[in-house]
Amino acid sequence: MSENVKQSWSATRLPAFSQWWARSKAPTYAPDGPYLAALPALITGLLILLTLSGLVLAVYYNPSHPFASLQFIAWNVANGWLVRGFHATGTTILFGTIYLFLFRGIATRAYKAPGELAWFATVALYALLLLTAWLGQTLTGGGAAYWSLKNAAQAAGLLGGAPGAVATWFFGGPAGHGTLARLVVFHIALALLAFALLWLYRAAAKPAAPIATGAKPVAFFPYYIAQYFAAFAILALIFSVFLFFAPHFGENPLDLVAGSDLVVPTTITPPWYLVPLAAMSGLFTSPAGAIWVVVAALAVLFALPWLDRSGPRTRHGGWYRFFAVLLALDILGLSLAGAAGPSLITAILTILFTFWYFLHFLVLTPLVTALEAE
Amino acid sequence: MRRLFAAALALGFATAGAAQADDTLSPLHFQSQGVFGSYDKAALQRGFLVYETNCAACHALNALHYRDLEGLGLTPDEVAGIAASVKLADGSPATLDSRFKDPHAKATTFGGAEPPDLSNIVNARPGGLEYIYNYLTGYVPAPDGVTLLPGRNYNLAFPGNQTAMPAPLKGNDVTYADGTAATLPQEAQDVTAFLAWTADPNLDARREIGIRAVMFLVFLSIIAIANKRKTWRETV
Position A47, amino acid = L
Q: pLDDT of A132-165, one tens digit each?
A: 999 999 999 999 999 999 989 888 888 888 988 8
| DSSP string over A64-89 | TSHHHHHHHHHHHSTTHHHHHHHHHH
* A238 to A53, A79, A241, B44, B76: CA distances (angstroms): 18, 21, 5, 32, 38
The pTM of the whole model exceeds 0.80:
yes
Which residues of chain B neighbour A233 with C-beta distances below 8 Å?
Answer: 217, 220-221, 223-225
Q: pLDDT of B36-91, one tens digit each?
A: 999 999 999 999 999 999 999 999 999 999 999 999 999 999 999 999 999 998 89
- Among B206, B225, B235, the residue with its CB nearest the CB of A218 is B235
Smallest CA–CA distance, residue B29 to chain A, in Å, is 19
Contact A272, A92 (CB under 8 A): yes
| Domain B40-64+100-201 fold | Cytochrome Bc1 Complex; Chain D, domain 2 (1.10.760)
First to last CA, chain A: 57
The pLDDT of A199-226, averaged and rounded, is 83
**What's the CA gap between A252 and B123, in Å, rounded?**
11
Residue B93 pairs in a beta bridge with: B87
Smallest CA–CA distance, residue A39 to chain B, in Å, is 16
Residue A218 pairs in a beta bridge with: A29
Residue B139 pairs in a beta bridge with: B155
Show the 3-state SS of chain B: CHHHHHHHCCHHHCCCCCCCCCCCCCCCCCCCCCCCCCCCHHHHHHHHHHHHHHHCCCCCCCCCEHHHHHHHCCCHHHHHHHHHCCECCCCCECCCCCECCCCCCCHHHHCCCCCCCCCCHHHHCCCHHHHHHHHHCCECCCCCCCCCCCCCEEECCCCCCEECCCCCCCCCCCCCCCCCCCCHHHHHHHHHHHHHHHHCCCHHHHHHHHHHHHHHHHHHHHHHHHHHHHHHHCCC
Confidence (pLDDT) at A355: 97
Nearest CA in chain B to A78: B202
Q: pLDDT of A303-322, one tens digit each?
A: 999 999 887 666 666 889 99
The angle subtended at Cα B75 by Cα B70 and Cα B80, nearest 5°, is 80
Give ipTM to 2 decimals. Answer: 0.90
Q: pLDDT of A251-286, one tens digit each?
A: 999 999 999 888 888 888 999 999 999 999 999 988
Confidence (pLDDT) at B5: 39
The angle subtended at Cα A357 by Cα A356 and Cα A360, nearest 5°, is 80
DSSP state of A216: P
Confidence (pLDDT) at A211: 64
Nearest CA in chain B to A68: B63
Percent of chain A past pLDDT 90, that is, above it, reads 68
CB pairs under 8 A between A and B: 89
Which residues of chain B neighbour A234 with C-beta distances below 8 Å?
Answer: 221, 224-225
Q: How far is CA A250 from the centre of its chain?
A: 15
Tell whether A158 lies on the interface with B, counting CB pairs under 8 A: no
HSE-CB at B207 with a 13 A cutoff on CA atoms is 23
Confidence (pLDDT) at A316: 66
Which residues of chain B neighbour A258 with C-beta distances below 8 Å?
Answer: 120
Inter-chain residue contact B232 with A241, CB threshold 8 Å: no
Inter-chain residue contact A81 with B206, CB threshold 8 Å: yes
Contact A228, A41 (CB under 8 A): yes
* Residue B186, number of CB atoms within 10 A of its CB: 22
Which residues, at least 6 apart from B81, have a Cβ–Cβ distance to it below 8 Å? none
> In chain A, which residue ranges form alpha helices assigned H by DSSP?
9-13, 15-25, 39-60, 66-76, 80-107, 116-139, 143-158, 161-171, 177-208, 225-245, 275-281, 287-302, 304-307, 318-339, 344-359, 365-372
Tell me which residues of chain B have a C-beta less than 8 Å from any C-beta of chain A. Answer: 35, 63-65, 68, 119-120, 123-124, 199, 201-202, 205-207, 209-211, 213-214, 217-218, 220-221, 223-225, 227-228, 231-232, 235-236
- Among A227, A233, A258, the residue with its CB nearest the CB of B221 is A233
Q: pLDDT of B1-24, one tens digit each?
A: 344 433 333 333 344 444 556 677
* A185 to A102, A132, B62: CA distances (angstroms): 28, 11, 29
Nearest to A98 by CA among A43, A41, A37: A43
Smallest CA–CA distance, residue B192 to chain A, in Å, is 17
* Residue B184, number of CB atoms within 10 A of its CB: 16
Residue B199 predicted with pLDDT over 70: yes
- Domain spans of chain B, in order of start: 40-64+100-201, 204-236
**What's the CA gap between B155 and B112, in Å, rounded?**
18
Confidence (pLDDT) at B11: 33
3-state secondary structure of A171: helix
Nearest CA in chain B to A73: B63
